[in-house]
Amino acid sequence: MNKYLSALCLAVLVTNSALAAESVKPSPKINYADNLLMNSKTAKRLEAMESEEARLALEEARDLLEQAKVAHNNGQKAEGSSLSSLALKKFTQAAKLLPKSESALKVLRKRYVELDEEIASYLEWYDSAPYVSGDEQHSIDRAKSEVSDARVLFEKSQYEAANKILTRVLDDVVVMTNRSMTSSEIVSSLDFETPEQEHKYELARNNEYKRLIPIAEEQKAPKGGKLMLFKRFVKKAENIRVQADSELQSGDIETSIKTLQNSTDQYLRALRMIGIR
């Protein structure tokens, strides 16, 4: 009798366990992670690497995945989901340790050249600028130093690190260039003794904006309606500049100065239209 009861209790326990297991539906997220961490080409490449760092990262990712499975099967779905996310994150970190394919390296090298040329275009503008403040010169020197640092990394085939530096430098140079082009501090601090001096300054300022236009158009490459509006502002600036020249030739220098300022404003609108602030 006791044996019969014991067998019956065991059967009930087994049945309940089976029912509990059946009640836990599979997690698509965990299944995805399992397939990625165990069967993907990336996982196989990581397994074949001689890097201890990569091997340990893969093992940690797989350990987290197993913990996610246990938690999910025990009904702790939120915990299972969180652990599977950590497993995927660790796997992604491990995948970054894989060597780049030749096609990926080609893209990184091409990007480096593009960034380097774009930065050079902006820095060349300062080489012939009529005025460079002390702060600007400090920023220029720092940018050139960082470009040199990036070149050293590039020559060591550390393309991603080099591009990261150049991307930051480009952002800084663009901001600095636009700030110098639109700065009101310089204008307000200048004390022109004659209208001729003021006209000379406004003419130089207009010329510098005009020189920046083709550089900005090449680098920003506006399309469609944005390009049409950009060109419209540029054309308007050019037409107003012709008017300013005509006013100067007729002897009306005061009016010519104001017209030049209007022309410069149109160049500025064109630049803002394609994202240069």
Q: How far apart are CA 143 and CA 71, in angstroms?
A: 51
| Region of 144 on the Ramachandran plot (φ > 0 left; ψ -120 to 50 alpha; else beta) | alpha
Q: In this structure, what is the dihedral angle of CA atoms 61, 64, 66, 67, given to the nearest 10 degrees?
A: 180
Domain ranges of the chain: 2-95, 100-189, 191-277
Between 17-31, 94-108, 195-209, the lowest mean confidence (pLDDT) is in 17-31
Q: What is the rounded distance in angstroms from the CA atom of residue 45 to the CA atom of residue 43?
A: 5
Averaged pLDDT of the chain: 81
Average pLDDT of the segment spanning 113-125:
81
Q: Which residues contact 43 (CB under 8 A, 6 or more apart)?
A: 36, 37, 58, 91
Of the pLDDT bands very low, low, confident and very high (cuts 50, 70, 90), residue 176 is confident
The answer to whether 96 touches 148, Cβ cutoff 8 Å, is: no
For residue 187, the tally of other CB atoms under 10 A from its CB is: 14
pLDDT for residue 191: 61
Long-range (24+ apart) CB contacts under 8 A made by 190-196 are 195/253, 195/254, 195/257, 196/253
| Residue 17 reports pLDDT greater than 60 | no
Q: What is the pLDDT of residues 120-163, one digit of tens each?
A: 877 876 776 666 777 788 888 999 999 999 999 999 888 888 99
Rounded Cα distance between 70 and 209, Å, is: 65
Residue 255: pLDDT band with limits 50, 70, 90: very high
Mean pLDDT of all residues in 242-270: 93
Q: How confident is the model at residue 185 (pLDDT cuts 50, 70, 90)?
A: very low
- Cα–Cα distance, 128 to 211 (Å, whole number): 11
CA distances to 13, 43, 49, 185 from 98, rounded to whole Å, are: 48, 10, 8, 51
